[in-house]
Amino acid sequence: RKEVEQDPGPFNVPEGATVAFNCTYSNSASQSFFWYRQDCRKEPKLLMSVYSSGNEDGRFTAQLNRASQYISLLIRDSKLSDSATYLCVVNPKGPEYGNKLVFGAGTILRVKS
């Protein structure tokens, strides 16, 4: 079983749609969780950290369910510029171990006009 699993998609949605991505992780001791965005042939860019209480940043909402080892990302009012690969990322050990990140393979989002 992979440490971080995501539906690869692609998700093809019209502008203005709401879309949700899910991710599961295998290590119950994982400490930190993130969503990164990666455009084609570019580096991953941090989109948002994910907190236990859930958090929102504009049109983006991230939630964490530790009991189910499940992370989600909701994008409201999709824009053409949201088209990218969304990477679910987990720090499987605590900060004292150096913060190696484990990435999922990514979910492709295509927003069409």
Binding site residues, another protein, CB under 8 A: 4, 32, 34, 41-46, 49, 87, 89, 91, 95, 97-106
Q: Between residues 3 and 17, which has the closer beta carbon with respect to another protein?
A: 3
CB of 80 to another protein, least distance (A): 23
Is the Cβ of residue 7 or residue 17 nearer to another protein in the bound state?
Answer: 7
Query: For another protein, which is the closer residue by CB, 20 or 46?
Result: 46
Instruction: State the chain's maximal CA–CA distance in angstroms.
Output: 46
